[in-house]
Chain A
Amino acid sequence: MSSIVAESDVQPGVKQRIRDSRLVQEAQPILRVYVRNRPAVVGAALLFGFGIVAAFAPLIAPFDPLDTNLSRETVFQAPSWGHVFGTDAQGRDVLSRTLYGARIAWQIVLAAIGVAIALGVPLGLLSGYIGGKLDELVIMRVVDAVMALPGLILILAVTGAVGPSITNTMIVIGIVWSPGYARLTRGIVVSIKGDVYVEAARALGASPARIMWRHLLPNAIAPILVLASLSAAGIILVEAGLSFIGAGVQPPTPAWGGMVSDAYNTLIRRNGWPMIGPAGAIILMVIAFNFVGDGIRDAFDPRLRNVR
C-alpha cells in the first residue's frame, strides 16, 4: 500500500519512467495481501488443479471418456474403487468424463472472456477517449441496453437459434459479457484522460492510438483482471445451464452441464450417482473463481470493491 501513496507525490514526468519497474515492485505487495487471504489461496489452488486436470486429462483419466459399455452389469454402477464416481447410462466412467469436462470448462471460460475483452475493451477505450455524443448517446446507451437484458435468456435464445456448438457458445457468451468490459474501461479512461501525463504525451505528438494503448490501457488492466475472474464464475454457470438444456456443448462431448442432464434423465428410473462428479465439479469451480476474484480485487486495491 505504501508504494501507491508515495507514488502520488512523485512528479508526473518521473512517474512514466518508473512505470517499467513498477510492475515488478507492485507485484510483491499485491501478492503478499493475496496470500494472506485464505479462501483466495484455496481458490487459486483449486483452479490450478482444474488446469492440471484439463491439460493432462488423457494421462490422468483411468478410462476413455467416450468408451461405452452397454452390458447390464457395467451401466449405472455405484461409486467403487474401479469407478470412483460410478458409471453412467452407457457404462462410461463418470470420473474420466468429469476430468475431461474440465477441458471444456476452461476452454469456454478462457475463450468467452477473450471474446468479451477483445470486443469490450477497445470499445470502452475509444468511447471514453473520443467522448462526446458518440460516447454518451450511442455507445453507452447500447451498452446499457445489453446489460439490462437477462443474460442467460438472451444467450439461450441466440445460441439455440444459430445452432448449438462449442464455438457458438463461446462467442455468444463473450458478446453478451463484453458490455461490462466496455463500461469498466470507459469509466477508467474518462477519469484519467485529463491527467497531466496524457496531456504531455499528446503535446509530444503521440497519436490517439498510442495514447490509448500506452497511457490509458495500462491503468485499466488491474480492474479488467478482477472483472475477468469474477465473470468466469458466471460463465461457468451459464455454460452449464446451456449444455443442460442441450443448447450448448453437444453430447457425447463430456461437458458438465450435459452430464448432469444425462444423469437427470435416468435419475428416477435408476439412480443419481452419475450426477455427483459433474455437479461437484461445477460447484467447486464456481466457488474457486469467486474466491479468486474476491482475492484479486482486495489485493489490488480495496477501492475496487464496486467493480462488479
Chain B
Amino acid sequence: MGSFLIRRLAQGIVTVVLASILVFFVMRLIPGDPALLLVGTDASAEDIEQVRERLGLNEPLVQQYFNWLAGAVRGDFGPSFTKGTEVSNLMRVALVPSAELAVAGYLFALAFGIPLGIVAGLKPGGPGDYAATGFTMFTLGIPNFVLGIILIWVLAVLLGWLPITGRVGIDEDPVEALKFLVMPMIAVGAGTAAVLARFVRASIMETLNQDYVRTARAKGLRERSVVMRHGMRNALIPVITVAALQIGFLISGAVIVEVVFARPGFGSLLIGGVVGRDYQLIQGMLVVLVTVFVVVNTLADVAYGLADPRIRVG
C-alpha cells in the first residue's frame, strides 16, 4: 500500500507541474502586452516600462515561470490585470459560493443517482429500469446549462416557485439560501447522477449473477438478505471510484452553470477573466482548478486501492 500511495502521489505532482508549465506558456503565447492591459492604452512609455519591470516581464521567460511558480506555491498568483486586486483575493472570495454549489450538486447526484441505479438494477426491464434509462439518456444528452435554463423557465418564470438567479449566503438566511441553491444544484448534479445510476445498475446486475449470490440463494437465504448482504455490498464498492472521479467533472461543469444562475463563484470569475483577457487571473485559476482536479482524482484512486486490494498491484 505504501509504494502505491507514493507512486500515485508522484504521478499527481508531475501532472500538476506539467499542467502549470502548459498553462503558463500557452498564456504567454497570446499576443498583447500584459503591462499595457494593466495601465491602459493611454499610459506613457515610461509608465509601461516601469510596470513591466515591476511585474518582472523583462526577465527571460523561463525565469518568469519560476518566479510565478514560486509565488503560486505560496498562494500568491500576482495582481489581476483587470480587477485591481490580487488574484488570490479574488479566488478566496469566489471559493465559498463555488464550494457550496459543488457540494450541494454532488450530494444531489449521490442521493438521486445511486437509489435510481439500485431500483433499475434489481429489476431490469421493470418500470424503475425504464424510468432510469430514460433519465440517463436525456441527462447525458442535455448540456447542464440548458437544463438549468429549462428549470428557470419552468420553476421560476412560469410557476414562480423559486427565485430566478443570484445567491444568498447560507450563513445569512439558510432557508432563502436553499431556495437559490435548488435549481443550480440540480443542473450541476444531474449529469453525475445519470453516470452513477448507469454504473450502479450495471454493477448490481453483474453482482447478482455471481456464483456466491447463487450459493446464498441456494442455501435458502431470504431474497432480502441475499440482495442486501451479498449483492449490494459487493456491487457498491466499485461505485466509490466512479463517484469520486465524478467530483472533478462536476466542478468543471459548474463553471457554466454558475454563469447561468449569476452566482458569484469560480465560474463567473473565470469567464470574467476570459472576456477581459486577464491572463494572470486565468492562469492562476487554471492551476488551482487543475490541482483540485488532480487531488480529487488521486484520492479517488487511493480510496479504490483501500477498498479493493487487487488494484494496488497494477
Chain A residues close to B by CB (< 8 Å): 141-142, 144-146, 148-154, 156-158, 160-162, 233, 237, 240-241, 244-247, 257, 260, 263-264, 267-268, 272, 275, 279, 282-284, 286-287, 290
Contact = CB atoms under 8 A, between A and B. Distances in A.
B141 A283 contact: yes
Nearest to A164: B274
A156 B271 contact: yes
Contacts of B157: 267-268, 272
Interface stretch (B22-30, B52-60, B73-81, B110-118): B22-30
Contact of B146 (A142, A158, A260, A290): A260
Interface residues of B, number: 48
Contacts of B11: 144
B19 interface: yes
Nearest first, the 6 A-B pairs at minimum CB distance are A160-B274, A150-B252, A145-B18, A287-B141, A286-B141, A272-B153
A157 B22 CA distance: 12
Contact of B277 (A145, A148, A161, A279): A161
Nearest to B260: A264
Interface in B130-184: 137-138, 140-143, 145-146, 149-150, 152-153, 157, 164
Given A268-B157, A287-B137, A244 B30 contact: no
B64 to A, nearest CB: 17
Contact of B140 (A152, A279, A290): A290
5 contacts: A150-B290, A154-B286, A162-B30, A260-B145, A282-B141
A76 B127 CA distance: 40
B197 interface: no
Contacts of A158: 26
Given A145-B22, A158-B26, A241-B145, A150 B271 contact: no
B252 A247 contact: no
Contacts of B106: none
A288 B156 CA distance: 31
A123 to B, nearest CB: 16
B108 interface: no
A160 B145 contact: no
B248 interface: yes
A153 B252 contact: yes
Contacts of A267: 149, 152-153, 157
A145 B294 CA distance: 9
Contacts of B290: 148-150
Contacts of B302: none
B274 A279 contact: no
A282 B142 CA distance: 7
A79 to B, nearest CB: 15
A229 B182 CA distance: 34
Nearest to B140: A290
B225 interface: no
A260 to B, nearest CB: 6
Nearest to A275: B149
A144 B256 CA distance: 25
Nearest to A160: B274
B279 interface: yes
Interface in B187-239: none
A247 B297 CA distance: 28
A142 B18 contact: yes
Interface in B1-31: 11, 14-15, 18-19, 22-23, 26-27, 30
Nearest to B286: A157
B146 to A, nearest CB: 5
Contact of A240 (B23, B143, B274): B143
B270 interface: yes
Contact of B141 (A151, A162, A263, A290): A290
B275 interface: yes
B87 interface: no
B297 A148 contact: yes
Contact of B249 (A150, A247, A264): A150
A149 B19 contact: yes
A141 B294 CA distance: 14
A287 B294 CA distance: 29
B119 interface: no
Nearest to B21: A145
A149 B249 CA distance: 10
A148 B294 contact: yes
Given A240-B143, A282-B141, 12 more contacts: A148-B293, A150-B248, A153-B252, A153-B255, A153-B270, A161-B26, A247-B275, A260-B146, A260-B149, A275-B149, A283-B138, A286-B140
A105 to B, nearest CB: 13
B218 to A, nearest CB: 30
